[in-house]
Structure 1
């Protein structure tokens, strides 16, 4: 903008000087004045062509500055996008690790629940075994035929419970 003011002032001075020069030429010889006046437009045409060329140079200079600023802005945008890409990759990696940790936690909780259920089953069978052993001991040892008939199913139940508890507590049978 500050370049245009001197340019406009120069055009105004040229125009004013042109008017003064034309008046002076007209006063010298009145018979040749129309031809001189027509020829003077060639000089005016040259002046405006020069001014248009000056405007072209100013325009090219302004465009060069704008292109430089645009390149700098694009460089800043590229750096910002690269940084954003790195941050997104970091977030994706963090989310992946978090998902893996949640999966491991879920598996551990499932195993803990299975172990708790398994322990409750063992405790229930152990309690049933204690009750069966107490019933066998309460019968005493009379040795008669009726006593053996009543005691045999309890002993079979006791042996089955012992086998089941042994199988449930054997680590080679555990799943998971």
Structure 2
């Protein structure tokens, strides 16, 4: 519905037209009434020539002024457009700076998270020593230590003692195989380098911080020594992340002293991934987890596929056996 103001604006052009036509008609009536002769009317009309020139000049000036106003309006629009563009540039720069700040903040948070993870991560170590016992025997001892300030949970050790497949060694070891497992021992497939393994597994629910413990791995009742020992260690931190490493200790004689020297640690720092499980298959015992092919444990995997369990032996010849409790470092 039209408002009163809109109706008033719609009548304004007609009102102005009526006034102009009224003045024009009134001028004719006045001329006809007060000026009788035509020549006098011409002279009377000439009197207003200057007025006509004035109004024509005023009209031209009005047109020029309108052009000037329009030019000013266009200039203001251009200035406003430049201000708008400048504001948009500032907004874009502010957005870019904000994105850079967010990226830096995300990086800082990631660094903080990594630092927190390292703080919450146990620091485990394995080493071998050869212990002399009172009856003159020698025992290779696996030393387990958590030198960190937080405990390691679900701590698991897979041990594989590597033996040579020389006939005389096989004949000596065969004497210690339980009768029900002789066929399993005879079916063991050697590695390409001519080795086989005897494996065992040890599990601790928790390894306390700043503590160590020892395991005997090979009994001196066995007349032959392993050429090396593979050890896969895996554990969880307080957040439940699983880590693992593979050690390989090589057996050597130095001045007639038995030494197990660490020659391989892979990876150098514990690798985070899903839990590793040892499974039996048609291809022998294998390492499995839900993510990768475990390339870092390829050598350990090879000896596992050519190994038998220590339960096949008729005594604790090879296998992890606790020596004492957790001791403070």
TM-score after normalising by structure 2: 0.29
More helix by share: 1
More strand by share: 2
TM-score after normalising by structure 1: 0.49
- Structure number with greater Rg is 1
